[in-house]
Amino acid sequence: MAEREAVRKRNKRKSDSYFDYSLLFVVLFLLVFGFIMIYSASSYNAFQDYGDPAYYMKKQLLAALIGLVLMVVVSKIPYHFFERFALAGFIFSLLLIPVVKTPLGVNSHGATRWIKIPGIGLNLQPAEIAKLCMILFLAVLVSKLGRNVDTFKGFAIMVCAPLLHCAFIYLFTKNLSSAIIVFGISFLMLFVASSSYKVFFALGGGGIAAVTALVLYIVNKVGTDGGFRSERIIVWLNPESQAQDKGFQTLQALYAIGSGGTWGKGLGQSMQKLSFLPESQNDMIFSIICEELGLFGGICVISMFIMLLWRMLVIANNAPDLYGAMLVVGVMGHIAIQAVLNIAVVTNTIPNTGISLPFISYGGSSVMFLLIEIGLVMSVSRGIRLADTQ
Amino acid sequence: MSSQNRNTGERKVKKFTQKMQKKLVVLFILILLAFAGLSIVLISLVKNNKVDYQKQILSQQQYDSTVIPYRRGDIVDAKGIKLATSEKVYNLIVDAKIMNTEVKGEKPYLETTLDALTRNFPMLDMVAVRKHVTTNTNAPYYVAAKRLTYDQISSFKSAQLDDSNIKGIWFEEEYKRVYPNGSLAADAIGFTTTDGQGSYGLEEFYNDILNGTNGREYGYLNEDLNLERTVKPAVDGYTVHSTIDSNIQMIAEKYIAKFMEEHKDLVRAGNGAENVGCIVMDVNNGEILAMASAPGYDLNDTRNAQALIGSKMVEQVTNANGYYEIKKNGQVINQDIIDSMDNDQLLLNLNYLWKNFCITNTYEPGSVAKPFTVAAALEKGTITPASTFECNGSLEIGGFKIKCHNGNEGTMTLESGVAKSCNVTMMKIAQTLGVDNFCEYQSIFNFGLKTNVDLAGEARTNSLIYNPNVMGPTDLATNSFGQNFNITMIQGVAGFASLINGGYYYEPHIVNKITNSNGATIKNIEPRVLKQTVSENTSELIRQYCTAVVQYGTGKTARPAGYMIGGKTGTAETIDQNTHKRSPNEYVVSFMGFAPADDPQIAVYVVVDRANAVRQDDAKFATRIVRGVLTETLPYLQIFMTEELTEKEMKELEELKLEITSQYKAPKEETEVVEPIYTVGEDGGKPTWLTFPIDPNTGYRVDPATGYKYDAQAGFLIEGDMSSIGIEEPVNKNLESE
């Protein structure tokens, strides 16, 4: 008996410390793969600009190490601990966005999207904080609303909750893509939380119709005079028309992907990274992956993301409660949206907009907050109770 | 227990419902579909465009190669002094793209670099540079300044080292041709156009040897499609070693310049003479030690129209036969004319200036041809050294009465005939030779043939001499004393050298060695004896006759103090380009000499073409230049004096020594007193020449006893051995003075 008790206890302990190693493996794989690709894509430009080929890689490594530490810390804390900060985080992240307009704002790449944290010398993107806080807030909100999500009032609250953030991000940082991502995360969380399909098909269909109409309107009426966003639409439809100008980056990305072939030119053999493809270590890193590692490499990366999302699906569906599950759904939505949109941009499936590839693209804030989000997912996964009888 | 508790606890918390789980799966499927769609896009992208895009990428790569310029070889003189050299110069290239690079949203290089440019290149048009950089932000290549020296760019280069924010500026290397001595030996050296091609002189003749091969730095894609860079170094041009000795060249140019200065604007506006040429040649190997002519030009500034001032203007006309001809239009170029010239006219006149008088211009040699006539007859045996000829002032040939300038001189030996430059004697000698023999010797002396001197632009003279079929007795007579056929200076001096050096005709040459850029000899150019023109015995006789010219004949004023030399004066009428008749008052005077008289080492030939003087037919114009050149050149060549110096000569040499040694100290006051020679009679009273009657034909006072002519007013001895045949006399139709 005593022996049995001991075994059960051991099993219990085992079940208490459930840890999703697949998830950790995929995340670490993507991170390390990201370092390699950043080094490959940026070493030429980094050496030209800073005299150190590993300049970008080193910075990414530092941010990732901080992120990993935070991930471990967050994953050790029961996720309900964060519940109480949901509203505060929601308001804090909203108020943080206008700070980019203060002297703390850091200008780079022609846009003010970063905040300098005094003392540390680290730059943070408030939009990344907003994404994290929005996931947390909406997860709490869904768990509080419960079945009321399906009521009109509850649905309206859910739809309206991210709008202020989106507006702030768009207005203060001129960052449409981040606004879209924040809204997209909320939308996906709402989709999962709501029991209705019709509304979403209606919304989705309406959205597609509206976008199509807008594109047709821009193409036929406005031409290239309607500011840089409508210009992007024109370039999207025909990148060759402005091959040396606005379409340059898109075209060069396409050249990179196309020239890579099935198996690629080999790691480090990209020619497009030699100052032809702007932001090759950043938003456009997927095209360098395709150029160096070919279609094979690109599909592998997509597969890794699918695997990552699959693990999250499993965690969410086994989460002990609605709040935990919604947290995972939010993180899942975040990563899915960014990965899909990034690859869509690189392949010119949608108009060019600045979206980074999760874990792989260069960008300290992005990778740090993504790892914190993974920490949350791990924290939720710790709450999973394995069946006693096996 | 505990599990039950947990279950009851779980009932309180809201669950992730089955419906939600299903929806999440739906969401996951949607995401999968999105990824699948993107994968299809990727696959089709690769499948449809792989080859096109690969080509596109390769075409974007910069395999454009940069040229590494070769260095054109130097031209050095006999002592290794650089006559022409190439200096590395730098073109300032602005790369606006790099300058406008953004780092963290700012342009850290733009202002720093522009500021550095402003500070270090004061001559730069910064407004234009700034405009270019700010408007063409992607232009990587803009030449802001050309041909800067290293000194000019060094301050910027050090600033660039100090400040890493100075970016987008680089220097393209190029070579610039520099002539350290300016106009020295301009005609012989020639110059180089900006694209590295030689024009005139050595630069043109040895163009291919001086030029090297450009190197290249280029990129190419190796079999793994990696870009590789390779440098193929430039091969520098060879160095040409000229036989010209800068010191002798400078001496020659000094005396020519002195003459030009003295005669400038003397009777008419313009240069001291239309042309003055001087060749100094080593008679024992044909090496040209100096080749100078005036008017000259600055090799470093060949297009400077100021060099034309004082020359007669030339223009291109279409002649009766429909050919283009370049003719002097009589106008003397001044600033006003330069201003009014269009580009073509300017270029035409500059081209005329750039010609090398010593090899390109032809003229009737006049009496310097007399030793050749005598030598030919001696060789053929139609006369002997003991032959004498009777001169009674003129000889009637073919209906023309051809005069001797000295009047009736009685019996002439060969020596006195040459020494006194007697036309009648020469005509009679030529008659003994006959047309065929005379023409044969013309070609033996290389008249009518190119000498093949290694300089660009030697004139063809084959149509400017007679051939035996068309040569009449009058032509033979006038040819015998150097009229009615044309030669170039180089032909004259090369033939003359063979007459006095024992009969060896050396091909005249101005380059004796070619070395590569490391100094290794590529080619030695040895003296080439082309033929034996006359025998040693004849040569010795000619030396004797020519020495007599200087001892007591027409060339006394050519003798430098302390030396005995030989030579022959010449005065020839010119033919008017427009009337094709002999001009009554335009002459080419010359002196062809060698030194020392007993053992000739060098030959000097000076030609003064239409001096700016009241009477142009004065051989002293040429003999004085020869005298000056020899006075300084012979000691320089370590040829010792053999003759006693008179007190006057010693004083003269002292003054010259003082002048040469003091020329670097202080500018000396020039108080040149032109001393009329023979102005004072032997009795010290009234000058004898004033008593001589004036010849109504020539305007000279003529000494009835000797036949010497004196200037009617100033009393200058007219020393010209004018081979006057009168302006109505026959003219070789092919000849024209230029």
Query: Using the beta-carbon criterion (under 8 Å), do B102 and A340 form an inter-chain contact?
Result: no
Query: Using the beta-carbon criterion (under 8 Å), do A257 and B46 form an inter-chain contact?
Result: yes
Chain B residues with beta carbon closer than 8 angstroms to that of A110 = 102, 105
Distance from CA of B164 to the nearest CA of A (A): 11
Q: Is B588 helix (H, G, I), strand (E, B) or coil?
A: strand
Considering only the beta carbons, identify the residue of B17, B41, B224 that sits closest to A347: B41
Chain A contact probe: residue of B18, B20, B97, B102 with most A CBs at under 10 A = B20
Element (H, E) at B123: none
**Spatial CB neighbours of B216, under 8 Å, sequence gap ≥ 6:** B65, B66, B67, B68, B231, B232
Distance from CA of A338 to the nearest CA of B (A): 11
Element (H, E) at B420: none
Give the residue with greater pLDDT, A122 vs B437.
B437
Which residue, chain included where needed, has tokens 């869904």? A142
Contact yes or no for B159/B120 (Cβ under 8 A): yes
Residue B278 has pLDDT above 90, yes or no: yes
Q: Say whether residue B714 is in contact with chain A using an 8 A CB cutoff.
A: no
Chain A contact probe: residue of B57, B165, B221, B223 with most A CBs at under 10 A = B57
Closest chain B residue by Cα to residue A12: B3
B29-42 mean pLDDT:
93
Paired tokens of A332: 């899942």
Residue A77 confidence (pLDDT)? 92
Query: Using the beta-carbon criterion (under 8 Å), do B31 and A258 form an inter-chain contact?
Result: no
| Count of C-beta atoms within a 10 Å radius of residue B21 | 18
Q: What is the pLDDT of residues B586-633, one digit of tens each?
A: 899 999 999 899 999 999 999 999 998 888 888 889 999 999 999 999
Residue B29 has pLDDT above 90, yes or no: yes
B48-60 mean pLDDT:
77
Q: Where are the domains of chain A?
A: 88-113+126-196
Beta strands B215-221 and B66-68 are antiparallel
Considering only the beta carbons, identify the residue of B35, B37, B45 that sits closest to A258: B45
Which residue, chain included where needed, has tokens 């002649």? B319
Share of chain B above pLDDT 70, in %: 86
CA geometry: angle A384, A389, A390, nearest 5 deg: 90
Residue A105 backbone phi and psi in degrees, to 5: -65, 145
By CB neighbour count within 10 A (0-12 exposed, 13-18 middle, 19+ buried), where does A21 fall?
Answer: exposed
Which residue, chain included where needed, has tokens 């999968």? B32
A143-156 mean pLDDT:
87
| Count of C-beta atoms within a 10 Å radius of residue B139 | 15
| Count of C-beta atoms within a 10 Å radius of residue B135 | 9
Confidence of residue B168 (pLDDT cuts 50, 70, 90): confident
Share of chain A above pLDDT 70, in %: 88
Q: Is B240 helix (H, G, I), strand (E, B) or coil?
A: strand
Query: What ipTM was predicted for this assembly?
Result: 0.92
Chain A contact probe: residue of B14, B56, B109, B222 with most A CBs at under 10 A = B14
Q: Say whether residue B3 is in contact with chain A using an 8 A CB cutoff.
A: yes
Helices (H), B387-512: 414-419, 423-444, 473-480, 489-500
Query: Using the beta-carbon criterion (under 8 Å), do B226 and A298 form an inter-chain contact?
Result: no
Q: What is the pLDDT of residues A229-255, one digit of tens each?
A: 677 777 787 777 766 667 788 888 888
Q: Which residues of B471-504 are buried (b: 16+ CB within 10 A; e: fewer)?
A: bebbbbbbbbbbbbbbbbbbbbbbbbbbbbbbbb
Closest chain A residue by Cα to residue B24: A192
The candidate with the shortest Cα–Cα distance to B532, out of B502, B493, B489, B492, is B502
Q: Which residues of A80-113 are buried (b: 16+ CB within 10 A; e: fewer)?
A: bebbeebeebbeebbebbeebeeeebbeeeeebb
Considering only the beta carbons, identify the residue of A259, A305, A340 that sits closest to B53: A259
Query: Using the beta-carbon criterion (under 8 Å), do A257 and B42 form an inter-chain contact?
Result: yes
Chain B residues with beta carbon closer than 8 angstroms to that of A48 = none
Residue B712 confidence (pLDDT)? 61
Query: Using the beta-carbon criterion (under 8 Å), do A343 and B60 form an inter-chain contact?
Result: no
Which residue, chain included where needed, has tokens 């004066």? B569
Query: Using the beta-carbon criterion (under 8 Å), do B45 and A257 form an inter-chain contact?
Result: yes
Read out DSSP for B503-537?
A: SEEEPPBSEEEEE-TTS-EEEE----EEEE-S-HH
Cis amide prior to B696 (ω within 30 degrees):
no
Read out DSSP for A142-197?
A: HHHHGGGGGSHHHHHHHHHTTHHHHHHHHHHH--HHHHHHHHHHHHHHHHHH---S
Biggest CA-to-CA distance, chain A: 82
B530-534 mean pLDDT:
93
A105-111 mean pLDDT:
71
Confidence of residue B730 (pLDDT cuts 50, 70, 90): low
d(CA A233, CA A239): 10
Query: Using the beta-carbon criterion (under 8 Å), do B19 and A344 form an inter-chain contact?
Result: no
| Count of C-beta atoms within a 10 Å radius of residue B599 | 12
Closest chain A residue by Cα to residue B221: A271
Those of residues 58-87 in B touching chain A at CB distance below 8 A are: 58, 60-61
Query: Using the beta-carbon criterion (under 8 Å), do A276 and B60 form an inter-chain contact?
Result: yes
Query: Using the beta-carbon criterion (under 8 Å), do B14 and A146 form an inter-chain contact?
Result: yes
Q: How far is CA A233 from the centre of its chain?
A: 23
Query: Using the beta-carbon criterion (under 8 Å), do A259 and B54 form an inter-chain contact?
Result: yes
Chain B residues with beta carbon closer than 8 angstroms to that of A154 = none
**Spatial CB neighbours of B436, under 8 Å, sequence gap ≥ 6:** B468
Residue A9 has pLDDT above 60, yes or no: no
Those of residues 30-49 in B touching chain A at CB distance below 8 A are: 31-32, 34-35, 37-39, 41-43, 45-46, 48-49
Distance from CA of B518 to the nearest CA of A (A): 38
Chain A residues with beta carbon closer than 8 angstroms to that of B17 = 322
Q: What is the pLDDT of residues A60-76, one digit of tens each?
A: 999 999 999 999 999 99
Those of residues 92-111 in B touching chain A at CB distance below 8 A are: 101-106
Task: List the beta bridge partners of residue B87.
Answer: B176
Query: Using the beta-carbon criterion (under 8 Å), do A322 and B50 form an inter-chain contact?
Result: no
Query: Using the beta-carbon criterion (under 8 Å), do B45 and A254 form an inter-chain contact?
Result: yes
B547-553 mean pLDDT:
92
Give the residue with greater pLDDT, B463 vs A375.
A375
Chain B contact probe: residue of A123, A263, A317 with most B CBs at under 10 A = A317
The candidate with the shortest Cα–Cα distance to B395, out of B431, B442, B364, B437, is B431
Q: Classify the C-alpha dihedral A42-A44-A49-A50 as positive or negative.
A: positive
B667-686 mean pLDDT:
46
Alpha-carbon radius of gyration of chain A: 22
Chain B contact probe: residue of A141, A190, A192 with most B CBs at under 10 A = A192
Query: Using the beta-carbon criterion (under 8 Å), do A258 and B23 form an inter-chain contact?
Result: no
Contact yes or no for B181/B83 (Cβ under 8 A): yes
Query: Using the beta-carbon criterion (under 8 Å), do B226 and A269 form an inter-chain contact?
Result: yes
Closest chain A residue by Cα to residue B61: A271
Chain B residues with beta carbon closer than 8 angstroms to that of A294 = 46
| Count of C-beta atoms within a 10 Å radius of residue B164 | 11
Confidence of residue B685 (pLDDT cuts 50, 70, 90): very low
Query: Using the beta-carbon criterion (under 8 Å), do B13 and A322 form an inter-chain contact?
Result: yes
Query: Using the beta-carbon criterion (under 8 Å), do A191 and B27 form an inter-chain contact?
Result: yes
Residue A296 confidence (pLDDT)? 94
d(CA B466, CA B442): 9
Chain B residues with beta carbon closer than 8 angstroms to that of A149 = none
A105-123 mean pLDDT:
72
Residue A121 has pLDDT above 70, yes or no: no
Chain A contact probe: residue of B5, B21, B24, B33 with most A CBs at under 10 A = B24
Chain A residues with beta carbon closer than 8 angstroms to that of B19 = 195
Distance from CA of B134 to the nearest CA of A (A): 17
Considering only the beta carbons, identify the residue of B10, B27, B46 that sits closest to A188: B27
Residue B663 has pLDDT above 70, yes or no: no
Task: List the beta bridge partners of residue B700.
Answer: B711
Residue A56 has pLDDT above 50, yes or no: yes
**Spatial CB neighbours of A18, under 8 Å, sequence gap ≥ 6:** A381, A382, A384, A385, A386
Residue B350 confidence (pLDDT)? 92
Query: Using the beta-carbon criterion (under 8 Å), do B57 and A271 form an inter-chain contact?
Result: yes
Give the residue with greater pLDDT, B621 vs B101.
B621
Q: What is the pLDDT of residues B336-374, one digit of tens each?
A: 888 888 888 899 999 999 999 999 999 999 999 999 999
Q: Say whether residue B316 is in contact with chain A using an 8 A CB cutoff.
A: no
The candidate with the shortest Cα–Cα distance to B311, out of B275, B266, B347, is B275
B109-124 mean pLDDT:
86
d(CA A161, CA A165): 8
Q: Is A226 helix (H, G, I), strand (E, B) or coil?
A: coil
